Structures are given as structure tokens and as C-alpha cells.
Amino acid sequence: LPSDLDTDQRVRADDRGHVFHSWSAQALIDPLPVAGGEGATFWDYAGNSYLDFSSQLVNLNLGHQHPDLVRAIQEQAGRLATIQPSMANDVRGDLARRISEVAPDGMSKVFFTNGGADANENAVRMARLVTGRRKVLSAYRSYHGNTTTAISLTGDPRRWANEPGDGSVAHFFGPYPYRSAFHASSDEEEAERALAHLEQTIILEGASTIAAIILETVVGTNGVLIPPPGYLAGVRELCDRYGIIYIADEVMVGFGRIGEWFAFQAYDVAPDLITFAKGVNSGYVPLGGVVISDRIAAHFDTVAFPGGLTYSGHPLACAAGVATFEVFERDGILERVRDLGSRVVEPRLREMAARHPSVGDVRGRGLFWAIELVRDRETREPLVPFNAGGKDAAPMGEVAAACKSGGVWPFTHFNRLHVAPPLVISEDDLTRGLDVIDRALSAADAYAH
Ligand code: PLP
């Protein structure tokens, strides 16, 4: 790749001088200037290219610069670049219909938002209005977004500095077989005990006060936690029993990440509200939304829904969403994800787990996997402590640096490395990226005993 160090310097100077970054101590970061990308690869101005094993923020499901998405946005921009939400628009309606067609029966309507956080805000708002109750239960080890209610729902340290937020949220433990909060010794026991704990939480918080339970179907950033068999069906059952709305947060795992339109479809359950964003159009133009059950939608047939956004159902975003459906269907993306996940990624990660003393657990589905790193496989002491920063996080920094110097851009969080490449990655690139990760794990092995 050609190097363009003058541009690199200019981009760095503007960024460091003027861009205030998310979640960061501004003086302690050094953002990589990115010159371009194509498919599963992006490159900088210095001539380095990276396989994007984090799909940016696990949103770039169809990869960089997908020609169909780019063309759809260009055509829509040439036709009608924007229109406000209270008018009817062809691509907005087309996308809403397509989403409802792949959602469970009886979920025919879609409220569009700008992203995942506001999708969750509005789903909770709907649940509160329909039930006349206020409280929402969410899991520790979860992320639901950065606005007041969404960050309060979040069960990770990003909530802490934002407290007090929405006071009507209570947290519970979801299943996590590798580090069971319930001392369970099998997946079945984990599901059973996690459900008993959830039911106790409902009873002690007061069922009559609880509007909704929100759950990431597969917990994303907080660990690629796969629900053990029976867990989600049990949550559905508890929601029915206590008159609680079940909100599935599909922001990270919807639209193909695990080889399903919506991840809960792999577990045979149907929620009352689905929130989505990211993969719906690979983030080419910001878009999220709520898929609404007919029962909940009917509540707002004659009573106004008290919520809205200037850019709800933005035509450029929806055009990219319609193109996403066309690509998924034409190119068999869901089948491809299941195939690559079970034939290429899973066996390779299991084989790495057997060979590397630092690998405590590997888990995942489709093109969404976590490698959980430990210092000791017996005690499961994590490679770095929970929420480690600075010096404490150095071992993970070394693993990430080894990935980058091998040409793979990794997703790391606490003591985990996630594997979440674009769903269009070639089998060769996928294998090449896994080779790089395999070698990078020796940096973690050096700390393991
Ligand atoms: N929910 C989940 C599961 C997410 O992973 C995210 C973002 O990472 C969000 C919600 C928030 O989405 P957004 O950043 O688009 O507001």
C-alpha cells in the first residue's frame, strides 16, 4: 500500500486537536488515522492494512464499502436525500415490511431510531406505557447504550460514572457457565438456577412494579455469553406468568452475526419487543429501531405514542437497510455465517484452546466468538482483572499489539479477545486472521502457569 505520511500527520493533528472521543481520557489516546477500507480489510496512511476482526464496533456485517450498499445510498441521495418522519416514504416502508417479515409472527410494526441506545429507550418507554409499571430488570454484564435509561440498564462499569440515571432499574445475574454465579456444574443446571434467581428477583422487586425484562440474546461486549439451553424459553415463561414485557436487545447480534436474522430465533423464543441497530445496514448511515408486537402496537392505535426523532427512518439509512436484505438473500449470508462458524472458526478455536495454556474458555456461534484468557486454567484467574486499566491491562495490550503487528485489528474487552469479522470475509482471510490470533496468544501464554 502507498504511504501518505503528510495526510497521516494532518488527520492526526485535526483529530488530536479537535475531536473529543467516546469513553476516553482525551490525552491518553492515539486514534489510528484510517485512509480507506474494502470488505474485511481497512488500511491506514502509513501503508499498513488490517483484517477487521471486530467489524468496527461489531456493526460492519457486510464489510467496508459494499458496492450494493454504497450504490443504494447514492441512488437514494440522488432521488430524495431526506424526508421527515411523519410523511410516508417508499424505502422506509419497504425496510419496515422486510424487517417484520423476518421477525416472529405477530410483530408487524417497526419504530425507527438513530441507533441502539434510543431503540432501547423507546422500547422501555413502550413497555412502561403499555403495562402502567415503571421498573425494568436487566442483567449484570450487559451493554444497552449510552442514554439515560439505556446506560442505567447497562450492567457494566460504563454505568458507574453515569449514576444516578434512571432510578427504576434493577440488575440480576444472567447465565455465564464458565464463571457461574450459581455454582452450577452443567449448562442445564446453570439455566435452571439462573431462572430461579430471576424469579426470586421478580418476586422481591415486586412483579406488579416491573414493566420489562431486557436481555441481550447473546451477551455481546460483556463476553459473548451464549444462553444455555432452556434459559430464554424460561425468561419468556416468567414474563408471561408475571405480565412482564420481554425486550430482546438484538443490537449487536441481530442481522446475521450468529447466522440468524434475529439471534433469539436460534433458541425458539419470541420476545414482545426487539431492538436492533448496527447490522441492519452495517452502520453506513446511523439506524436502529424497535420491532413491536401487534398487542403492544395496538395500544397506540388510538392513543398517541409520546416519542419521536427528526431522523426516524432516514431514507439514506433505510435504503442501505433494503440493500442489506437484498445482499443477505442473494448471497446466502446467514447460511455462510453458520457454515464458516461451525466448519472453520469453532474447530480452530477449540484446537487453540487445547494448545495455549492462557485460553480458559472459547465460546460462540456463527461469526461471534470469545477467547477468554486466564493465568491459570485450574483457578480460572483472569489474565487481567475485571475492568483493568493502565498497567494492569498490559498483558491484554500485548496480545492486541501482537494481533495488529500481524495485520489483524482485534476486539478486546477485559480479559477476552472476541472474533467478530465481517460476515463477508473470505475463508482464506478468516483462516489467515485466526493464524495471526493463534500466534498472538503466545503473548498471553507468557503469563500463564
Ligand atoms: N445494545 C447492545 C447490545 C450494543 O452492543 C450496543 C452498542 O454496542 C447498544 C445497545 C447501543 O447501540 P448504539 O451505540 O447504536 O447506541
Residue type, 369: W
- CA 160 – ligand 1 centroid, Å: 17
59-63, 93-97, 388-392: range with lowest mean pLDDT: 388-392
- CA 273 – ligand 1 centroid, Å: 16
- Tell me what the mean pLDDT of segment 246-261 comes to: 98
The label of the residue with cell 416514504 reads: 89
- Tell me what the mean pLDDT of segment 250-262 comes to: 98
- CA 96 – ligand 1 centroid, Å: 20
Specify the 3-state DSSP secondary structure of 25: coil
Q: Beta-carbon neighbour count of residue 92 at 10 Å? A: 23
Q: Which residues contact 41 (CB under 8 A, 6 or more apart)?
A: 49, 50, 51, 52, 64, 429
Instruction: Specify the pTM.
Output: 0.98
- How far, in Å, CA of 16 to CA of 33, rounded? 11
Pocket test for ligand 1, best of 138, 278, 285, 368 (most atoms within 8 A of CB): 278
- Residues linked to residue 225 through DSSP beta bridges, in sequence order: 219
- Segment 133-190, tens digit of pLDDT: 999 999 999 999 999 999 999 999 999 999 999 999 999 999 999 999 999 999 999 9
pLDDT band at 368 (very low <50, low <70, confident <90, very high): very high
Say yes or no: CB of residue 144 within 6 Å of ligand 1: yes
- How far, in Å, CA of 95 to CA of 324, rounded? 10
The label of the residue with cell 436525500 reads: 81
Compute CA distances 167 → 44, 112, 134, 171, whole Å: 44, 26, 10, 12
- CA 276 – ligand 1 centroid, Å: 8
Atom of ligand 1 nearest to the CA of 114: 15
- How far, in Å, CA of 278 to CA of 264, rounded? 17
Say yes or no: CB of residue 211 within 6 Å of ligand 1: no
Specify the 3-state DSSP secondary structure of 367: coil
The answer to whether residue 202 scores a pLDDT higher than 90 is yes
Report percent pLDDT > 70 for the chain. 100
- CA 280 – ligand 1 centroid, Å: 12
Question: Nearest C-alpha to atom 12 of ligand 1 is from which residue?
Answer: 116
Instruction: Quote the pLDDT of residue 10.
Output: 97
- CA 251 – ligand 1 centroid, Å: 6
Mean of pLDDT over the chain? 98
Give the max Cα distance, the chain: 65
Domains of the chain plus CATH, in order, are 5-65+333-445 (3.90.1150.10), 68-331 (3.40.640.10)
The answer to whether residue 216 scores a pLDDT higher than 90 is yes
Q: How is residue 90 written as a grid cell? A: 417508499
- How far, in Å, CA of 169 to CA of 152, rounded? 7
Report percent pLDDT > 90 for the chain. 99
pLDDT band at 2 (very low <50, low <70, confident <90, very high): confident
The answer to whether residue 1 scores a pLDDT higher than 80 is no
Specify the 3-state DSSP secondary structure of 369: strand
- Segment 285-323, tens digit of pLDDT: 999 999 999 999 999 999 999 999 999 999 999 999 999
Say yes or no: CB of residue 288 within 6 Å of ligand 1: yes
215's enclosing H/E stretch is strand 210-216
Is-cis flag, bond preceding 175, omega within 30? Answer: no
Q: Beta-carbon neighbour count of residue 48 at 10 Å? A: 15
Pocket test for ligand 1, best of 252, 284, 287 (most atoms within 8 A of CB): 252
Atom of ligand 1 nearest to the CA of 286: 15
